[in-house]
Structure formats: C-alpha cells, structure tokens
Amino acid sequence: MSSSSSPAAPEPKAVPSPCVSVCNMDASTGLCVGCFRTIEEIARWSQMTDRDKELVLNKLAIRRVSK
C-alpha cells in the first residue's frame, strides 16, 4: 500500500497589532492618537481571538474616517 501525504496547510497568520508606537490617549475621545484603539482594546489585544481583533480593526477604520 502506498500512502500519499498531502502537504500541510500553511499556518494562518496572526492578526497584527495596529500599534504604530505613537501611544498617547486623547482625553476628549478616549482613543489612542496613534492606533485609534480604546485603552480596553489595547489592554485586551493579546488575549483576543483573531475574530475579535478583526472586529476591532473594522472599528478602527471607521474611527479614522470619523476623526
């Protein structure tokens, strides 16, 4: 019997942090002026699922346009 092995699927890439190393919270909006995340989003980032991170990234896109 021959066993054929298929190549392993590539590992999915982790969702990258939106941090741009300009860490300063805007008191009037409660958002970081660099990445537009809330302090809660920043603090929870490393524990979030990829799906939750993608949801935050979608919010950031709206926040950037709305600024």
Find out whether 11 and 49 touch, Cβ atoms under 8 Å. no
E strands present in the chain: 25-26, 31-32
Instruction: State CA 12 to chain mean position distance.
Output: 14
pLDDT of residue 56: 98
Cα 48 to Cα 1, 2, 28, 66, distances in angstroms? 45, 43, 26, 25
* pLDDT, tens digit, 9 for 90 and up, residues 44-59: 999 999 999 999 999 9
* pLDDT, tens digit, 9 for 90 and up, residues 15-31: 999 999 999 999 999 99
In this prediction the pTM is 0.78
What is the Rg, in whole angstroms, of the alpha carbon atoms belonging to the chain?
18
